[in-house]
A and B are shown apart, each in its own frame.
Chain A
Amino acid sequence: MSSEHSNETEAVLAVNDLHVAYGNVEALFGVSLRVDPGEIVSVIGANGAGKTTMLSAIMGLLRSRGEIRLRGRDIASLTVEQRVAEHVSLVPETRELFMTMSVEDNLILGAFRPFTNGDRDYRQTMDEVFHRFPKLKERLRQQAGTLSGGERAQLVLGRALMSKPQLLMLDEPSLGLSPIITREIFSIISDLTDAGTAIVLVEQNARAALQVSTRAYVLENGLVTMEGRSEALLEDHRIYDAYLGKRTRDAG
């Protein structure tokens, strides 16, 4: 099912020569990236390599230069709101749940854009979300702020799914989760592509990311330094030294 840059199918996301600067300090130096329908693409790299910056730019939260094409259409000039309306969704590292609102309200707000565009039947989407995350149904009336870490991770994914995303970007979905819950979340993520959703997965936990993704990019100091099929990268000694094995191998 993996496809290396098959040009017959139109890419869901094609980023070309993306530059982002904070004031005078450049954070991204011409990053290019492609995600095909139903594909999970992981982006790995060290702290501060520019992974979060890249997602924020694709979402429109940060000003950027370069092309961002969604199914062939350049969306670089659109506002965040308009990108959401184009079914782009970002789950940021900071989660950004509505802590003081109920689980149900959080989910309903996930469907805000489709709703205002005339797709009023959010109840059905919500049932699909409950099918994936039965726990959320039990917690429906509870305030989001009172959920545990694992439940929050489910809510934030469920809320993103409410917008029926065609491109879903996940920034460190395992952050702060125990290994068991991390495994659970990753297995859910690998199922999300059933509906044809394309996923960009940014992770510190490089091994887990490479195991669920079809392809991967390595970002270092604002540049893509490697890309390829995830299985191949898992075997690559450079990746192994830098991101997978170093923690235990170099010690002592």
Chain B
Amino acid sequence: MDFGIFTFLLQDGLNSAAIYCLMAIAIILVFTTTRVLFVAQGDFLVLGALTLSQLQLGRVPGTVWILAGLALLAFAMEGAQALRERSRRRALRAVLFCLLVPALVGGGVAWFSGKELGLAIDILATIALVGPIGPLLYRIAFQPLADKSILVLMVVATAVHFVIISLSLIFFGAEGWRTPALTDAQFALGPVLISGQVIAIIVTSLLLIVVLFLFFSNSVYGKSLIATASNRVGARLMGISTAQSGMLSFAMASAIGCVSGILIGSITTIYYDTGLVLTLKGLIAAVFGGLASFPAAAAGAVILGLIESYSAFFASAYKEIILFSLLIPLLMWRFVLAGHQDLEEEA
């Protein structure tokens, strides 16, 4: 292997690492705040990339209909609960968040799509469409089961993954899509040429790590999310709404997923079912971080990206096998470190 190939593989590895890092951040975020191992995280990325690609083509993205369907379902559930509790406040909130806001967003996007308002507007529209899908999914699928075991929540997450890929297939078809590059800029880092897009991804990841670190360590709201996962009854006694905490985490997860999709949509072709493999690799990085530490997960993502890139060169056929086999010793290491905490969860 000469130096040229070495640097090429390095660059390739960093590309993947950046995406795995974004995945891992969202997975840890959701897990530490809701105890959900969210295997559908990558599907948000797919929705983000595919929505943007459709908007760029001047079409009304199917995401509008997905949003509308989920919003109506959530409205039915919230409405039923408002009736049961005879709570006018809950009813009003349901009308506002499950009817008016989604209608405004969906209707707005449908109205201006095709008017060629430029990439920036399309990106904002994509985030506005995909962002609310996370909290709606939480409300519909997870909130009624929020006090169940981690394993039950994991099965629910799997089911949610099935639902999203099915909807993606229905609305975007089986063919792959690409989005336009956000920037054509290239930067020379010594002998390594790195595209502006990759730098954007890396910067976004780093920024997210810093912002989330500050959010969880300094903000009362951030602490309230961790408290919810740590002890739901305790959180309620402090006046923290566990339902709102869950929806807030899922809103952040869908937003991060959507932004990741916008960032990588121009580097790789995205299909309706690309999400799962990306999630699983993000999960490897997240496990490296003990499903708790953002910086450790980021380091895990870099190691993973590099192993993947170099093993693709040396033993391309065995690349995935090597990556997923690594997960088992990683899990055992983390399991031993976690010690008795896991036993408490089981009891």
Residues of A whose CB lies within 8 Å of any CB of B are: 59, 61, 77, 79-81, 84-85, 89-90, 92, 94, 96-101, 105, 108-113, 115-116, 122, 159, 163
Contacts and interface: CB of A to CB of B under 8 A. Distances in A.
Contacts of B86: 77
B325 interface: no
Contact of B237 (A96, A100, A111): A96
Contact of A98 (B87, B230, B239): B230
Interface residues of B, number: 19
Given A80-B237, A98-B226, 10 more contacts: A81-B241, A89-B237, A97-B231, A98-B227, A98-B230, A98-B234, A105-B223, A108-B220, A110-B238, A115-B220
A82 B301 CA distance: 42
A96 B233 CA distance: 7
Contacts, number: 70
Contact of B239 (A61, A77, A101, A112): A112
Contacts of A163: 238-239
Interface string B235-256: 1111111000000000000000
Given A77-B85, A77-B86, A113 B227 contact: no
B224 interface: yes
Contact of A109 (B85, B87, B227, B233): B227
B82 to A, nearest CB: 12
Given A84-B237, A110-B238, A77 B226 contact: no
Contacts of A80: 236-237, 239
B239 A96 contact: no
29 contacts: A61-B233, A61-B236, A80-B236, A80-B237, A81-B236, A81-B239, A84-B237, A85-B239, A89-B237, A94-B233, A96-B234, A98-B227, A98-B231, A98-B234, A98-B235, A99-B230, A99-B231, A101-B223, A105-B223, A105-B226, A105-B227, A108-B223, A109-B220, A109-B238, A110-B238, A111-B220, A112-B238, A112-B240, A116-B220
A9 B99 CA distance: 46
Contacts of A98: 226-227, 230-231, 234-235
A113 B238 contact: yes
Contacts of A110: 238
